[in-house]
Chains A and B, each alone.
Chain A
């Protein structure tokens, strides 16, 4: 099972935000723009619904988003990265997960559109990271 684990299946997306509403909203927007074919999991807020991040929600999100093509994770702010990294240290499928350094909303939309077009995990993460350089005006 370790030879080519990411060669099949679509890439899934996990949105890790300090706010559950922000993660849900970004997931909804990305799904609409990309046509609704990509698995996008919102992992926002703490376990008791406060502002913050939850290792349990991130871990659940990773397994829900994985369908054979790997998972790209987008954190909203730097401290969400700490939670994701802590989860990945113990997570079984961490070699199929890429953490993207990208603006949250633009990155989520760009990553999801690339995943919907059949891009592999590297292309999806690259699309998210390129979002940093695309001007809106």
Chain B
């Protein structure tokens, strides 16, 4: 069964490398095609370079769209990540050589997407 879904969010911070990475890792775990649109440009949400290339900044409205069997879950997960990860201090830099500070909360890697990931 296929569906499409779309939701927008206003960014609380710039879409830098770490939040873009968190977004692309999460998007890659869904079967649906997922895209992110900002400032008139659209990128494949599974492409971290594409997401970073949007250059989306604080206060900008970003739209997440998905089409496929898990479209709704994908959009909900990515909107949650965009809400959390672009907050100031949302994804804290880790000490050099350490494990990055994100990935602990269920928002970053939702349980349903973890279950769907290949093992």
Query: Chain A residues in contact with chain B, CB under 8 A?
Result: 8, 28-29, 31-37, 106, 109-110, 113-114, 116-120, 127, 130-131, 134-136
- Which residues of chain B have C-beta atoms less than 8 A from A32's C-beta? 17-18, 21, 93-94, 100
- Which residues of chain A have C-beta atoms less than 8 A from B96's C-beta? 28
- Interface contacts beyond A35-B102, A35-B108, A116-B25: sample of 13 additional A-B pairs, CB < 8 Å, sorted by A: A32-B94, A33-B20, A35-B103, A36-B99, A109-B17, A109-B21, A109-B48, A110-B47, A113-B21, A113-B28, A118-B28, A131-B49, A134-B49
Can you report 15 A-B residue pairs in the complex whose CB atoms are below 8 A from each other? Answer: A32-B21, A35-B25, A35-B102, A36-B100, A36-B103, A109-B21, A109-B48, A109-B49, A110-B48, A116-B25, A117-B26, A117-B29, A118-B29, A118-B117, A120-B118
CA distance A118 to B93 in the complex (A): 23
Q: Which of B84-112 contact A (CB under 8 A)?
A: 93-94, 96-97, 99-100, 102-103, 108-109
- Which residues of chain B have C-beta atoms less than 8 A from A118's C-beta? 28-29, 117-118
- Which residues of chain B have C-beta atoms less than 8 A from A33's C-beta? 17-18, 20-21, 48
Closest to B46 in A: A117
B side interface size, CB within 8 A: 31
Closest to B100 in A: A36
- Which residues of chain B have C-beta atoms less than 8 A from A127's C-beta? 47
Closest to B98 in A: A36
- Which residues of chain A have C-beta atoms less than 8 A from B21's C-beta? 32-35, 109, 113, 116
- Which residues of chain A have C-beta atoms less than 8 A from B27's C-beta? 117
- How far apart are A105's CB and chain B's nearest CB, in angstroms? 10
- Which residues of chain B have C-beta atoms less than 8 A from A8's C-beta? 119
The answer on a CB contact under 8 Å between B25 and A34 is yes
Closest to A33 in B: B21
